[in-house]
Amino acid sequence: MDSDQTPAAHSSRPEIGIGMVGSGFMGRSHALAYRSVGGLFDLPVTPRCLLLADMDMPSAERAARALGFERATGDWQALIDDPAVGLVDITAPNKLHAPIALAAIAAGKPVYCEKPLAPDAAQAFAMVEAAEAAGIITMVGFNYLKNPIITLARDIITGGEIGEVVSFRGIHAEDYMADPSAPHSWRTDPGSGGGVLADLGSHIVSLARYLMGPIDRVQGRMNTVTRNRPTHPGSAETRTVEVDDHTIALATFANGAQGTIEASWLAAGRTMQLAFEITGTRGSIAFTQERMNELKLYVIGQKRGRRGFTTITAGPEHDPYGAFCPAPGHQLGFNDMKTIEVRDLMMALAGTPDGGRAAWPDFREAWRIQCVIDSIAASSATGAWTSVESDGL
Amino acid sequence: MDSDQTPAAHSSRPEIGIGMVGSGFMGRSHALAYRSVGGLFDLPVTPRCLLLADMDMPSAERAARALGFERATGDWQALIDDPAVGLVDITAPNKLHAPIALAAIAAGKPVYCEKPLAPDAAQAFAMVEAAEAAGIITMVGFNYLKNPIITLARDIITGGEIGEVVSFRGIHAEDYMADPSAPHSWRTDPGSGGGVLADLGSHIVSLARYLMGPIDRVQGRMNTVTRNRPTHPGSAETRTVEVDDHTIALATFANGAQGTIEASWLAAGRTMQLAFEITGTRGSIAFTQERMNELKLYVIGQKRGRRGFTTITAGPEHDPYGAFCPAPGHQLGFNDMKTIEVRDLMMALAGTPDGGRAAWPDFREAWRIQCVIDSIAASSATGAWTSVESDGL
Amino acid sequence: MDSDQTPAAHSSRPEIGIGMVGSGFMGRSHALAYRSVGGLFDLPVTPRCLLLADMDMPSAERAARALGFERATGDWQALIDDPAVGLVDITAPNKLHAPIALAAIAAGKPVYCEKPLAPDAAQAFAMVEAAEAAGIITMVGFNYLKNPIITLARDIITGGEIGEVVSFRGIHAEDYMADPSAPHSWRTDPGSGGGVLADLGSHIVSLARYLMGPIDRVQGRMNTVTRNRPTHPGSAETRTVEVDDHTIALATFANGAQGTIEASWLAAGRTMQLAFEITGTRGSIAFTQERMNELKLYVIGQKRGRRGFTTITAGPEHDPYGAFCPAPGHQLGFNDMKTIEVRDLMMALAGTPDGGRAAWPDFREAWRIQCVIDSIAASSATGAWTSVESDGL
Amino acid sequence: MDSDQTPAAHSSRPEIGIGMVGSGFMGRSHALAYRSVGGLFDLPVTPRCLLLADMDMPSAERAARALGFERATGDWQALIDDPAVGLVDITAPNKLHAPIALAAIAAGKPVYCEKPLAPDAAQAFAMVEAAEAAGIITMVGFNYLKNPIITLARDIITGGEIGEVVSFRGIHAEDYMADPSAPHSWRTDPGSGGGVLADLGSHIVSLARYLMGPIDRVQGRMNTVTRNRPTHPGSAETRTVEVDDHTIALATFANGAQGTIEASWLAAGRTMQLAFEITGTRGSIAFTQERMNELKLYVIGQKRGRRGFTTITAGPEHDPYGAFCPAPGHQLGFNDMKTIEVRDLMMALAGTPDGGRAAWPDFREAWRIQCVIDSIAASSATGAWTSVESDGL
């Protein structure tokens, strides 16, 4: 080494060993976030992609190589038990979320879990209680909550810029199950958090709660349009579908507002219609994830003849966009939201909560979201308005 | 006159004497349509703006002059009785719709009535029965149904281009009552078809029925956000508001689809959000009256890598756009829809129904729309799903 | 007549007898405007559709009937000579604009002429001189200048809201000649104001002058993409095309700004891309006729984190929208702009110029627009920057 | 380590030591790309962030820590000479691009250089010759060329889907210098590749060449709107601005098409209007980087009444979107394009060019882009059409 060069990046910061279970869509996105996060944010801890568990060793080895993890295992319990693992990250199939999380909690390790926590609120609540009793830091991956434009939307609401909110319209519609020949999978397994309300509806419910606050009562209707699907890809044999393709609901909020919630996975042509419009007594905001870097804002009192919605584009004024790019309008993408999620988690693990947002949404919040889901499902079954049985916050 | 000139436009076509009651927003639009329609369409009858009735003679004379009517009267019964009046056109305040229409029917005269027919379905049904018993041609002004782009939407659906329809999302949101200091008026008078569900909701219900067919059951919720309003413009005295500001509903359709319906008159920043999105098993359509000359269409089976919604812009291929303009993309406006409405009415009066669409929507259709409105209101009161009590077609 | 009815609409206002030559796209639109204008605006004179001239008597009679004119003639000179004709309206083929207009001027009659005045600026200037020498009121139909949203754009600029304007980007692109099998017609006749620069380019030049002021110098390039077209519809025989399909130009403005101008009639998929974006030292505006009721406005100095373009939608705050509809957001269409044009003309004829806008654009303005067109053509031929030889105002 | 765990990610793949000079906007983005690329793509080589050079050691150490480089140096020549450095990455100020690149070439090392290569084409060409003589792999960072939607645009054109291209309209407009109090910097230094044509215009020229092919002749006009700027931030002293704020140009392409090119850095309200519209004889495409995941496509021959532009949203069908996300519509961001750029570079370094796209755009392409820039500047000075003096490919 030349005399005018010095080692510079030997970070003295503590590392946290990541043990990730699963390697699908979300596993890949998590791995990417761990890689990126330290280059974007000045974090007190450094995530280290240590150990990846998958259903068997060959799969795990393949995945570890692809995603840049140091070691692999075919046994998730071994991952939890590994002393070098400081965070258990669960991106495994939905069915395994609860058992893995409970085991991690039992081992006293922080848990980062993809949604849903569990197929129903009761099981989710057991996880909340276990985590809270053990004083474990938990976080659940709801992706879209971390978009700086969504933070802006919340700031606008909580700052009173649009007055008191009075209405909400929320939608999450995609079309990945629009084809009737799309076969059964975990998506159609009621015991696996299957059905569109659980799969996509949970995202719009998470946004509703984040922006509008607690939901009091719901009245929903679930519909199964494709009544039979192939048992396996390409199979001629079919089996009855027991989950919903399209669900709609009315909702009342603790703040007195009311609104609609809709989830569909057969919305032909829609690939990311996660959208809402919120009206307050002094203005409105409108958003669609299809244009995730834009928020439309209207505030009353504009000059005569110059009134209209303003289209705000994300830029460094909307934290933490500036960590990704110093210039406005250059746009974040899907994976960037996941990186912000991991940033928040790292801050929480280091004990430096960032404005109360660290380790949020946690298991308790995920359970509350699940309570809304369950209540919509219950109201669909009874045909009656149903109270959301969570502690209401 | 020069020898090489000849009288040409002495139409030998019969005239129909228009007797119009009322001269507000809609009266003005009707008058304009009567003026325009003959220049756009080759009609078998010619409307003649004969007699205008308003609340008193001075008002009527002023309005007749402004709107181009030949004579004026302060007495609507006299208008009905005038033998030269061949069509009674009711754009008077909502409260008068029923009595005037019934009197016109009693006099055996065709009726063109602005919506709503009556404050409730029962009174509306009495009007239907009277009109049908007397064999009277009736038409109700729902404006937006006559947009060529809406006709296109219906053609797409009925032609099976998007398969079987499975979901509907419908909204009519404006902001003309968003200001809490907006005073009481007929808009807030329950006996006058007041409230946003009746005022704006009826438009989206009319579109829902036109595009999706009969509505079976509804579950709605009406909310009054501004609980007190000034008794009069500028008044410090206020009175309780008894009608809804914002109403949401779930609905099931006879064809098995389900959807949401929303009406708001406090949607700050929205001036014409009359919008819907309809999904079928093979595609989707999306529309907003904010861009009334465009329809978005997605049909499955597009070429790989080239998939997406197509934005169709109205043109001569979409009848009767071509009557207004031979070139595509030049755009129709609000009043043009009203002119098409009057065209349809004139065709019906001349006994030449145009593809079954003439004299539609008639009193029976307006009553059915009112039944949906009433059922949403009833379900809001009881909190229970409510069947729509019309004959279902 | 009943005692409580009185004749009301016997307008004591003077009538002006319209003599219209031509009955195509624009003739139809003019006729509609004459019908409508009195129902929308309180005019000091009433246009009366008196006499229609077409190429022969049968055509003229047919057209008069269709468009609601009282009499017909196959001889436009007879129309001019008719003492009852008080306004000569020229919607005839382009070639006839100059001779008819000059004859009308010679007869001392006001002229309303569709653009272009003449195939070149020299002939147009002869018309200006004749009209001004005779003290004749003239008006030329440039359609899009009368959109209330365009008036708003101009108000924003002249009011200094976006500072001093520094750049202009203007386009008029459609696709009606995109098909190489579209045959020769007046559109491809150099002696008839043919070619896309003259046909569509004149519209964007008219907007450029209206919004930006005089154009000093231009450097253009005209291109003929389809070099041969069928001599007649369906003909296998072709003939060389001598006019431009696509023209682009740089321009400098008297105010120091610079910009681009583009015209195309082979822009596949575009039916009304008449669009501009104007930047000033303190803001920007953007418009496309595809959404003719919207203007996008950005003004510097907005609140941090809330910056963005505001989409203003036409409403009663934008005169004369309110004459068409008392509610914002309901939208005007193409023909409504033509009605405003006729309103302005009627005001001018009655000697009550409305804010200086009456009888504008007149022949002199149309000539100046033609000077820009001619200069772009000249610069395309020489390859050199070319001064626009008009008096610069 | 547990017996059922095995080391998995010990990649046997060769590493390439990255030596990066500079740590600003682009340095940060490069560093992020090196971190991410291996988690997204299965690369034959692994970039290792080895050595970062900045203007002095403290800056370099700070930057190395922030961006995750192992070592730091205040001397870029030492970086080039370091035997562990296998790629010299230049994100330093523009003025240093040429000297550093030439030194790296002299040392026989591949170069990855941000644009512009040099302040003019002559200097750039010297770099091309040096690199080609030495057989050095080079790549220049033009960012936007790597968007999968841009690849789609090119595939559509080269596949003949829109026929032969006939027109191009290209713009890159932002507003970062709109404020007249924005001070002098490298951006306004003529010797540093300053001025908007060089800074932003080069991006739209790079797209024009990529999509349309070689540019033959240009006629441009450069304008300096803000004639004096503060010498330093906040300074009251000002100095004359010698570079352009807004430049427009006409261009002809080797394929016979013509078009316009515009660059502005004072387009108030625009933060990323990098946009184009391309028309061919059988269709059109339109794009704006403001909605970087969307391409609008129109192809003639659509069904009557169903014609319109289709909005295609990026998804796994558009390589390499799928590496980032398996689901369509989830969106890439700005940094993701840079990661694709680094992917292409790594493939080229490993000797596995990916479909000819590896190590592209190289120095030669960057020089050709510079030739267009220089020709526009020359034509602005002379006022005459100017041939683009490159070898035309």
Token reading at A390: 């969570």
Predicted local distance difference test score (pLDDT) of residue C278: 98
State pLDDT tens for residues C302-317. 999 999 999 999 999 9
The confidence score (pLDDT) of residue B389 equals 80
Nearest Cβ partner of C7 from B1, B29, B70?
Answer: B70
Please give the angle made by the CA atoms of D331, D33 and D107, to the nearest 5 degrees: 150
Structural tokens at position C213 = 């002021």
Tens of pLDDT, residue by residue over D30-84, are: 999 999 999 899 999 999 999 999 999 999 999 999 999 999 999 999 999 999 9
Q: Which residues of C touch B70 (CB under 8 A)?
A: 7-10
List beta partners, residue C389. Answer: none
- Cβ separation C313–A308 shorter than 8 A: yes
- Buried (b) or exposed (e) across B214-237, using 16+ Cβ within 10 A? bbbbbbbbbbbbbeebbeeeeeee
Q: Compare all CA atoms of chain B with the CA of A271 and give the residue at the minimum distance.
A: B308
C-chain CB neighbours of D221 within 8 Å are: 219, 250, 252, 258
Confidence band, pLDDT 50/70/90 cuts, at residue D5:
low
Q: Which residue in B204, B200, B139 sits closest to B343, CA to CA?
A: B139
Q: What is the DSSP letter of B377?
A: H
Most C CBs within 10 A among D164, D171, D212, D277, hence the mutation to make, goes to D277
Do A248 and B259 count as a contact with CB atoms less than 8 A apart?
A: yes
**Host H or E run for residue D221:** strand D215-223
Report the distance separating Cα C326 and Cα C320, nearest Å.
Answer: 10
Residues in chain B where the model's pLDDT stays below 50: 1-3, 9-10, 355-356, 392-393
Q: What is the pLDDT of residue B343?
A: 95
Residue C305 to residue A317, Cβ atoms within 8 A? yes
Cβ–Cβ < 8 Å for A318, C305: yes
Q: Does D22 have pLDDT greater than 70?
A: yes
Give the chain A residue whose CA is nearest to the CA of D7: A71
Helices (H), chain A: 25-40, 57-67, 76-81, 97-106, 121-134, 148-158, 196, 202-212, 321-324, 334-349, 363-382
Could C71 and B330 be called an inter-chain contact, meaning their C-beta atoms sit closer than 8 Å?
Answer: no
Closest CA to A348 of A161, A151, A152, A136: A136
Q: Is the pLDDT of residue A319 over 90?
A: yes
- Chains with ≥3 CB–CB distances under 8 Å to B: A, C, D
Kindly tell me the burial class for residue C2, based on how many C-beta atoms sit within 10 Å of its own C-beta (0-12, 13-18, 19 or more): middle
* Closest chain C residue to the Cα of A329, Cα to Cα: C308
**What whole-number distance in Å separates Cα of residue B124 and Cα of residue B101?**
10
Which pLDDT band holds residue D359 (cuts at 50, 70, 90)?
Answer: confident
Q: In what order do the strands lie in the sheet with D87-90?
A: A5-7, D71-73, D46-53, D15-21, D87-90, D111-114, D138-141
Which amino acid, one-letter code, is at D216?
A: D
Tokens encoding A388 = 């959301």
CB D362 within 8 A of CB D353: no
Do C6 and B71 meet the contact criterion of CB atoms below 8 Å apart? yes
User: What's the mean pLDDT when you consider all of chain C?
Assistant: 94
Please list every residue in chain C whose beta carbon sits closer than 8 Å to the beta carbon of residue D280. Answer: 268
Please tell me which of the candidates A28, A42, A336 has its beta carbon nearest to residue D333: A336
Q: Is the pLDDT of residue D387 over 90?
A: yes
**Residues with Cβ within 8 Å of residue D382, at least 6 apart in sequence:** none
Q: Which amino acid is at A250?
A: L
Of D225, D269, D284, nearest to C269 by CB-CB distance is D284
**Contact between C354 and C342 (Cβ < 8 Å):** no
Identify the DSSP state of A182. P
Q: Is the dihedral of CA B335, B341, B343, B345 positive or negative?
A: negative
DSSP D162-205: T-SEEEEEEEEE--TT-STTPPPSGGG-GGGT-SHIIIIIHHHH
For the cut 80, the answer to whether the pLDDT of residue D12 exceeds it is no
Whole-number percent of chain A with pLDDT over 90: 90
Average pLDDT over residues A99-106: 98
Residues of D within 8 A of B312 (CB-CB) are 305-308
> What backbone torsions phi and psi does residue C348 show, to the nearest 5 degrees?
-65, -40
Set of chain D residues whose Cβ sits within 8 Å of the Cβ of C250: 219-221, 248-250
| pLDDT digit string, tens, across residues C81-112 | 999 999 999 999 999 999 999 999 999 999 99
pLDDT of residue A316 exceeding 80: yes
- Closest by CA to B223, choosing from B263, B192, B172, B251, is B263
Cis status of the peptide bond prior to D148, with omega within 30 of 0? no
Residue A273, SS3 per DSSP:
strand
CB contact under 8 A, D317 and B305: yes
Cβ(C182)–Cβ(C274) below 8 Å:
no
Q: Using only C-alpha atoms, what is the Rg of chain C? A: 22
Closest approach of chain A CAs to the CA of D269, in angstroms? 10
Q: How many CB atoms lie within 10 A of CB D240?
A: 10
Query: Cβ–Cβ of C325/B25 closer than 8 Å?
Result: yes
Secondary structure in 3-state letters for D230-299: ECCCCCCCEEECCCCCEEEEEEEECCCCEEEEEEECCCCCCCCEEEEEEEECCEEEEEEHHHCCEEEEEE
* Contact assignment for B272 to C65 by CB distance below 8 Å: no
H or E stretch covering D310: strand D308-313
- Kindly report the backbone phi and psi dihedral angles of residue D16, in degrees, each rounded to the nearest multiple of 5, phi listed first: -120, 125
pLDDT at D392 over 90: no
Output the pLDDT for position B313.
98
Please give, one letter per residue, the 3-state secondary structure of chain C: CCCCEEECCCCCCCEEEEEEECCCHHHHHHHHHHHHHHHHCCCCCEEEEEEEECCCHHHHHHHHHHHCCCEEECCHHHHHHCCCCCEEEECCCHHHHHHHHHHHHHCCCCEEEECCCCCCHHHHHHHHHHHHHHCCCEEEECCHHHCHHHHHHHHHHHCCCCCCEEEEEEEEECCCCCCCCCCCCHHHCHHHCCCHHHHHHHHHHHHHHHHHCCEEEEEEEEECCCCEEECCCCCCCEEECCCCCEEEEEEEECCCCEEEEEEECCCCCCCCEEEEEEEECCEEEEEEHHHCCEEEEEECCCCCCCCEEEEEECCCCCCCHHHHCCCCCCCCCHHHHHHHHHHHHHHHHCCCCCCCCCCCCCHHHHHHHHHHHHHHHHHHHHCECEECCCCCC
pLDDT of residue C392 exceeding 50: no
Q: Point out the residue among D2, D28, D176 whose CB comes nearest to the CB of A78.
A: D2
Please tell me whether the overall predicted TM-score, pTM, comes out greater than 0.90 for this model. Answer: yes
| Cβ neighbours of D270 in C, within 8 Å | 284
pLDDT digits (tens, 9 = 90+) for A361-372: 999 999 999 999
Cα within 13 Å of Cα(C331), Cβ side: 27
Is the pLDDT assigned to residue A6 strictly greater than 70? no
Q: How far is D220 from chain C (nearest CA, A)?
A: 8
Of B83-92, D3-12, D174-183, the one with minimum mean pLDDT is D3-12
Instruction: Answer yes or no: do A313 and C308 touch at CB < 8 A.
Output: yes
Q: What is the pLDDT of residue A351?
A: 84
Per-residue tokens: A56: 């068997």
Q: How far is CA A184 from the centre of its chain?
A: 23
**Residues of chain C whose C-beta is under 8 A from some C-beta in A?**
152, 155, 297, 302, 304-313, 315, 317-318
Q: Which residue in this structure is represented by tokens 């009175």?
A: B239
Give the C-alpha separation, A283 to D87, whole Å. 53
Cβ neighbors of C382 (< 8 A, separation 6 or more) are: none
pLDDT tens string D162-177: 999 999 999 999 999 9
Q: Is the pLDDT of residue A358 over 80?
A: no
Residues of D in contact with B311 (CB under 8 A): 308-311
Tokens of A66: 């692809």
Q: What is the longest distance spanned by two Cα atoms in chain C?
A: 78
User: Predicted ipTM?
Assistant: 0.94
Number of neighbouring beta carbons within 10 Å of residue B135 = 8
pLDDT of residue B333: 98
And the tokens for D191? 């010797």
Q: Can you give the pLDDT at residue A3?
A: 46
Q: Contact C166/D248, CB-based, under 8 Å?
A: no
Q: CB distance A330–D74 less than 8 Å? A: no
Burial class (CB in 10 A: 0-12, 13-18, 19+), A266: buried
HSE (CB half, 13 Å, CA atoms) of D57?
8
H or E stretch at B31: helix B25-40
In chain A, residues with a C-beta closer than 8 Å to the C-beta of B246 are 166-167, 258, 279
Whether B309 sits inside 8 A of D310 (CB atoms) is: yes
At A147-166, the pLDDT tens digits run 999 999 999 999 999 999 99
Q: Tell whether the torsion through CA atoms of B83, B86, B89 and B90 is positive or negative.
A: positive
Interface probe, candidates D225, D247, D297, chain C, greatest C C-beta count within 10 A: D225
Contacts of A382 (CB under 8 A, 6+ apart): none
Identify the CA nearest to A230 among candidates A218, A222, A219, A238.
A238
pLDDT value, residue A348: 93
> pLDDT > 70: what percent of chain D?
94
Best to test chain D binding among C245, C260, C261, C265 (most D CBs inside 10 Å)? C260
Which pLDDT band holds residue C254 (cuts at 50, 70, 90)?
A: very high
Q: Do D305 and B317 touch (CB under 8 A)?
A: yes
Measured between alpha carbons, how far is D309 from B308 in angstroms, rounded to an integer?
9
Closest-CA distance of chain D to residue A329, Å: 5
Contacting partners of chain D (3+ CB pairs under 8 A):
A, B, C
pLDDT band at C209 (very low <50, low <70, confident <90, very high): very high
Strand duo B111-114 + B87-90: pairing:
parallel
**B389 C-beta neighbours (distance < 10 Å), count:** 14
With an 8 Å Cβ cutoff, are D308 and B313 in contact? yes
Note the pLDDT tens digit of each residue in D203-249.
999 999 999 999 999 999 999 999 999 999 999 999 999 999 999 99
Tell me if A264 sits within 8 A of B158, measured CB to CB: no
CB A104 within 8 Å of CB A80? yes
Chain D residue numbers with beta carbons less than 8 Å from the beta carbon of B162 are none
Task: Give the pLDDT of residue D351.
Answer: 84
Q: In which band, very low, low, confident or very high, does the pLDDT at A11 lie, cut at 50, 70 and 90?
A: low
